[in-house]
Amino acid sequence: MLKIATWNVNSIKVRLPAVLEWLGSAAPDVVLLQETKSLDEAFPRLEIEDCGYNLLVHGQKTYNGVAILSKRPLEDVFIGLPGGEDDEQARYVEATTGGVRVASIYLPNGNPVTTEKFPYKIAWMDRLAARADVLLGHEEPVVLGGDYNVIPADLDCYDPKAWRDDALCRNESRSRFRTLLHSGYVEAFRTLHPNRRSYTFWDYQAGRWQRGEGLRIDHLLLSPEAADRLDACEIDSGPRGGVKASDHTPIWCTLRE
């Protein structure tokens, strides 16, 4: 079995103790990280390598930043999402490991929707769909995991009415998320748990974690060849309740070998 997880850690520097603890207890084979907020030369490589992981990092100063951790070798590295030649934001990295093509995705938030941030998000989603189509053409197992900053349906939100016009809920965002599904990708969690209300993110503000008021915005999208092998998919809310917690918690799936 191959266990693949994704986790928006909101600063790898601050979150390193929590990440190391979770690597030890959950023992994932592959981990996709987002919002590492670290220059590559400042990334705490040695501590993670000491846990038995190979490492691929793509970061920048202050914002964004993605990484892939794997117990297997990382091959055919691909950095950055095509189609944005002047795009400086570190939000996409891709590699092959354990026979699976994996991508760590930090999709733009897009708020406020009245600013240039929203069209940037939508254009980024169109670029992602184009790349996802290319990967489908290879007819290999692909897992596109990360913080999609999209609430796919009202079931995935504690208060859909309050969030209706937010960039995470807007139809422009949801329809493009569905485009990925229509093209052939399978969303692992909702496929295995059609009616379950679970979240991957709880805002630091207003006591959302304590109130159980969250959003499901971190997703694992599987190509048909990966979906054939899908065994399980669960959200591990444990890390969200820990000390110095990220506002996101890990979600993982297992693929049969």
Interface residues with DNA (CB under 7 A)? 10-11, 13-14, 37, 61-63, 108-109, 111, 117, 149, 204-206, 244
CB of 205 to DNA, least distance (A): 4
CB of 41 to DNA, least distance (A): 12
Q: How many CA atoms lie within 13 A of 208 on its CB side?
A: 17
Q: Which is nearer to DNA, 16 or 129 (CB)?
A: 16
DSSP state of 63: S
CB of 83 to DNA, least distance (A): 19
Number of residues in the chain: 257
Q: Which is nearer to DNA, 111 or 198 (CB)?
A: 111
CB within 8 Å of 76: residues ≥ 6 apart:
95, 96
* C-alpha distances in Å from residue 197, one per residue of 106, 110, 153, 214, 242: 23, 24, 11, 10, 21
Q: Which is nearer to DNA, 176 or 248 (CB)?
A: 248
Q: Which is nearer to DNA, 54 or 111 (CB)?
A: 111
CB of 48 to DNA, least distance (A): 16
Q: Which is nearer to DNA, 111 or 191 (CB)?
A: 111
CB 84 within 8 A of CB 124: yes
CB 154 within 8 A of CB 160: yes
CB of 1 to DNA, least distance (A): 32
